[in-house]
Amino acid sequence: MGKNIVQKILDAHLLDGELIPGQEIAIRIDQTLTQDATGTMSYLQFEAMGVPRVKTELSVSYVDHNTLQSGFENADDHRFLQTVAAKHGIYFSRPGNGICHQVHLERFGVPGKTMLGSDSHTPTGGGIGMIAIGAGGLDVAVAMGGGPFYLTCPKVVGVNLTGQLSPMVSAKDVILEVLRRLSVKGGVGKVIEYKGPGVATLSVPERATITNMGAELGATTSIFPSDEVTKAFLKAQNRESAWVELVADSDATYEEEITIDLSALEPMVACPHSPDAVKTVTEVGPIKVDQVLIGSCTNSSYSDLMKVAGILKGKTVHPTVSLGIAPGSKQVFEMLARNGALADLIASGARILESACGPCIGMGQSPNSGAVSVRTFNRNFEGRSGTADAKIYLSSPEIAAAAAITGVLTDPRELGDAIEVAMPEQFLIDDSMVLAPAEEGADVEVLRGPNIKALPINEALADTLQAPVLLKVGDNITTDHIMPAGSKILPLRSNIPAISQYVFSGVDASFADRAKEAGRGIIVGGQNYGQGSSREHAALAPMYLGVKAVITQSFARIHRANLINFGILPLTFVNESDLDKISQGDELEIVDVTTKLGQEEALEIRNVTTGETFSVRPDLTARQIAIIKAGGLLNYTRLNA
């Protein structure tokens, strides 16, 4: 029987287990990437392992998140990242060089390779034919140290693309259609593999937009074939030697299949406050728009911004709209400057932002109170913009540019002819902002600022777990709810004692203080707990506050893995209705937990406050049980070194 692309890459990298969906497997990781919001902690963890030099084929440290330097903290982190990279064999992409996923696609991505990144949008690399997976920083640190990456073998969903996109309909509309059909939970435990005749009509940047936002499905990753389109892109980046053909066999099979006719798609938006709240622009209607932001790792490529420049050329941004544009990389920025497109953007009244994540993670450009903001980003969770009551709509660059001109949400097809942008035969190549590591790392001094604190280490799991329910929450709790981002909090990523004060601060401002007072606690939630970012701080900071277990109806993949990595027991209700039997403040007890883990499929929890009992499933592998018992992956690694 033939293989699909996912099976081919996983089989070539398989270190342990069998490629049977639902079973745990271990794979070899070829490349890693980190960004500065997660990177400092990841490299502190790498240092704790005592490995002098990374053992991957390539590891790159990017600075793209915490670039707003309103105090010493971010600048100190950048200095630490540069020196630790030089010492341990890691390439360093300097601030200003661009967003990690855009730059990696341009300069480092290799078809057929595996990549692990400490950012949930690492699947962007699937646009070039990689198995690129987002994970917590500790998993990335282990991979840099030469360890395997463990995951549940995913089901593979084949998305058959037919037809061709109509003028002013874009790749963003493709992934919004997938989200509309599957929802933010529809990709859990799955890899989305795109195939069919429509694939050849999409450029690599368009494919990367689709795989990037596949993270919002909860999918392990997404991937496109590596074909002649991929080859042309790599050739234009002076990297043709990295190309290999990678397509599914003609008789390949998939666990699920769906078909999307590209020709039938219309311009769409994701409405507040979820990426799967998708409607056509026509359905939403011409609502007033206060702000437009174009950029992020989803839509900041050369072709994206050339289309925007073409739409804005000779026009002026509507007087009631604030327009900000962030090129995704120095390469994109400089090419726009050299061909005159940047001048067209500036002349329109756009505010040009640096090549960084910026407002996508709440780092600047918060909209006015009660605003409608149209953004080409990938997430529109409530409050993520920095303005609690803002309404964020996710759109294509074409829709965003049209709204900037008209002042209302507008179908870009109403503006007239589409802007045609050909892919360059040669991109501008200048890698001077990427620093190679030192040849002799032992000679490099790692520089640490006062905000970089020691990594907190968890204790081993106690045999009896008794603790109060510190917080009870509902469905679709995101990592933004658990550990908010933004310009106030992100600079504290290297200081767990300080950042832990903000855990659940937008949900319950008293949470951190109550957790400290209790000394230990349990969190209870509904469906899809922990969706969104890969930020391990959403597990690490609660661990520091004494959280011992999280009981939910279901978990998002990366967050559940992060909880295990930091020794927090993830449990799901056997009967989902038992959620109603628990109130915030109840005291819960599990006895003989270390003995029963691995021996019993379900654990009994007694609600000491009410006297009721209910059952939960750990659903842990033998390796994960050992990690939990040790108090986390670092402890487990030390014990098994």
- Residue 503 to residues 428, 558, 567, Cα–Cα distance (Å): 43, 18, 17
How many Cα neighbours within 13 Å face the side chain of 195? 23
Phi-psi region of 412 (alpha: psi -120 to 50; beta: other; left: phi over 0): alpha
Which residue's structure tokens are 């997660």? 38
Rounded Cα distance, 296 and 363, in Å: 12
Q: For residues 617 and 402, give the distance between their C-alpha atoms in angstroms, rounded to a whole number.
A: 50
- Whether 116 contacts 38, CB under 8 Å: no
Whether pLDDT at 545 is above 80: yes
pLDDT tens, residue by residue, 205-218: 999 999 999 999 99
What residues does 391 pair with on adjacent strands? Answer: 372
With contact defined as beta carbons under 8 Å apart, do 422 and 306 qualify?
Answer: no
Which is catalytic among the residues 533, 559, 560, 578?
Answer: 533
C-alpha to C-alpha distance for 42 and 37, rounded to whole angstroms: 10
Query: What is Dmax (Cα atoms) for the chain?
Result: 72
Average pLDDT in the chain: 95
- Please confirm, yes or no, whether 396 is among the known catalytic residues: no
Q: What is the mean pLDDT of residues 466-487?
A: 93
Query: Taking CA 296 as the corner, what is the angle to CA 316 and CA 308, rounded to the nearest 5 degrees?
Result: 30
Whether the CB-CB separation of 550 and 578 falls below 8 Å is answered with no
Establish whether 249 is a catalytic residue.
no
Distance CA 27, CA 20 (A): 14
Active site residue 417: no
- Is residue 535 annotated as a catalytic residue, yes or no? yes
Between CA 341 and CA 512 the distance in angstroms is 48
Query: How are strands ordered across the β-sheet holding 278-280?
Result: 278-280, 268-270, 391-394, 372-375, 291-294, 322-325, 351-352
Catalytic member of 119, 139, 276, 290: 119
64, 76, 77, 480: the active-site residue: 64
Mean per-residue pLDDT for 582-596? Answer: 95
Tell me what percent of the residues of the chain surpass a pLDDT of 70: 100
Segment 105-125 shows an average pLDDT of 97
| 423 — pLDDT class (breaks 50, 70, 90) | very high
Q: Is 597 helix (H, G, I), strand (E, B) or coil?
A: coil
HSE at residue 300, side-chain half, CA atoms within 13 A, is 37
C-alpha to C-alpha distance for 551 and 563, rounded to whole angstroms? 11
What residue spans of 214-280 are helical by DSSP H? 228-236
pLDDT in tens, 215-260: 999 999 999 999 999 999 999 999 999 999 999 999 999 999 999 9
**Residue 491 above 90 pLDDT?**
no
Q: Give Cα separations from 130 to 15, 134, 198, 261 (angstroms).
A: 18, 12, 19, 24
Q: 70 an active-site residue?
A: no
Closest CA to 324 of 300, 303, 301, 302: 300
DSSP 3-state assignment of 536?
coil
For the segment 154-165, the average pLDDT, to the nearest whole number, is: 98
Return the pLDDT at 641: 67
Q: How far apart are the first and last CA of the chain?
A: 40
Residue of 535, 537, 559, 560 marked active site: 535
Q: Is 566 helix (H, G, I), strand (E, B) or coil?
A: coil
Give me the long-range contacts of 495-498 (CB less than 8 A, separation at least 24).
495/73, 495/451, 495/452, 495/453, 496/453, 496/455, 496/456, 496/537, 496/540, 496/541, 496/544, 497/453, 497/456, 497/544, 498/451, 498/453
List the alpha helices (DSSP H) in 566-620: 593-596
Poorest-pLDDT segment among 71-75, 243-247, 446-450: 71-75
Domains and CATH numbers, the chain: 5-264 (3.30.499.10), 268-414 (3.30.499.10), 465-639 (3.20.19.10)
pLDDT in the model for residue 535: 86
Taking alpha carbons only, the member of 255, 252, 191, 257 closest to residue 224 is: 191
CA triple 459-461-464, angle to 5 deg: 130
Whether 434 has a pLDDT exceeding 70, the answer reads yes
Catalytic residue among 13, 107, 375, 379: 379
Q: Which residues contact 115 (CB under 8 A, 6 or more apart)?
A: 29, 30, 31, 32, 33, 104, 109, 122, 125, 130, 131, 132, 133
Average pLDDT in the 335-357 region? 97
Tell me what the mean pLDDT of segment 346-367 comes to.
93
User: Whole-angstrom Cα distance, residue 340 to residue 353?
Assistant: 17
Classified as helix, coil or strand, 99 is coil
- CA separation, residue 311 to residues 203, 294, 325, 414, 421 (Å): 20, 13, 14, 12, 12
**Average pLDDT for 50-59:** 96
Residue tagged 């790692």 (tokens): 446
Query: 13, 42, 65, 384: which one is catalytic?
Result: 65
Q: Which among 436, 432, 441 has a CA at the least distance from the CA of 91?
A: 436
CA dist 314 and 203 (Å) reads: 27
Q: Are 287 and 272 in contact (CB under 8 A)?
A: no
pLDDT band at residue 282 using 50, 70 and 90 as cut-offs: very high
Q: DSSP string spanning 501-530?
A: GGTTTTT-TTHHHHHHHHSSEEEE--TTBT
Q: What is the pLDDT, as a whole number, of residue 640?
A: 80
> For 492-526, how does the pLDDT look when each residue is reduced to its tens digit (9 = 90+)?
989 999 999 999 999 999 999 999 999 999 999 99
The yes-or-no answer on residue 65 being catalytic is yes
CA dihedral sign, ordered 560, 564, 567, 569: positive
What band does 490 get if pLDDT is binned at 50, 70 and 90? confident
